[in-house]
């Protein structure tokens, strides 16, 4: 069984963070590929509502999928997002108005998330969570692990996942 873990790092609180490591452990280990993606790769990316938050701010973290080659429609997934509870406090799920069905199950330092969208997730946005910032540098603790991720063609996409730079975008 192959396990893929994606970790986001933040260069202090002054620079735009980047997803920088992807560790895939399994029978066919592969080194992470550098962006930009080409061909059949599927990028995993965090989008943050604020890349330089202050203590007390609320930040929305969206987990997105991007496929620059062939169009890949992710239709289902189960994932676990982990974070450092000394620096971030989960406020709750950020609603996404795309008609997909999602569920989250928060525990201390982790959120299990699952979703299904027969027509695919709009703009590749799988789920979004809101966090209260206790220590801004702890955004670096965010990591997402996919237990399952499938396309409309019933393809298991885990072996095609690669990290992409995080983006600082205005999220609702």
CATH of the domain at 98: 2.60.40.680
Domain count across the chain: 1
Distance in angstroms (rounded) separating the CA atoms of residues 33 and 30:
9
Q: pLDDT tens digits for 67-112?
A: 766 667 899 999 999 999 999 999 999 999 889 999 999 999 999 9
Does some domain include residue 172? no
Distance in angstroms (rounded) separating the CA atoms of residues 124 and 81:
17
* C-alpha of 18 from chain center: 12
Spell out the residues 6+ positions from residue 154 whose beta carbon is closer than 8 angstroms to its own. none
Which H or E element spans position 97? none
Enclosing domain of residue 68:
3-167
For 120-124, what is the mean pLDDT? Answer: 83
**Radius of gyration of the chain, Cα coordinates, nearest whole angstrom:** 15
Query: Is the peptide bond prior to 36 cis by the omega test (within 30 degrees of 0)?
Result: yes
């Amino acid at each position: 069984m192959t396990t893929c873990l994606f970790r986001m790092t933040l260069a202090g609180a002054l620079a735009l963070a980047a997803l920088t490591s992807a560790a895939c452990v399994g029978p066919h280990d592969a080194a992470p590929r550098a962006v930009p993606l080409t061909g059949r790769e599927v990028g995993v990316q965090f989008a943050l509502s604020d890349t330089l938050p202050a203590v007390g701010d609320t930040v929305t973290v969206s987990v997105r999928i991007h496929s620059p080659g062939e169009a890949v429609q992710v239709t289902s997934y189960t994932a676990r997002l982990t974070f450092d509870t000394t620096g971030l406090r989960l406020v709750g799920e950020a609603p996404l108005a795309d008609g997909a069905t999602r569920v989250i199950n928060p525990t201390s330092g982790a959120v299990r998330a699952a979703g299904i969208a027969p027509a695919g997730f709009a703009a590749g946005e799988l789920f979004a969570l809101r966090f209260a910032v206790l220590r801004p540098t702890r955004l670096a603790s965010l990591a997402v692990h996919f237990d399952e991720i499938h396309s409309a063609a019933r393809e298991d996409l885990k072996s095609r996942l690669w990290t992409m730079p995080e983006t600082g975008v205005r999220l609702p």
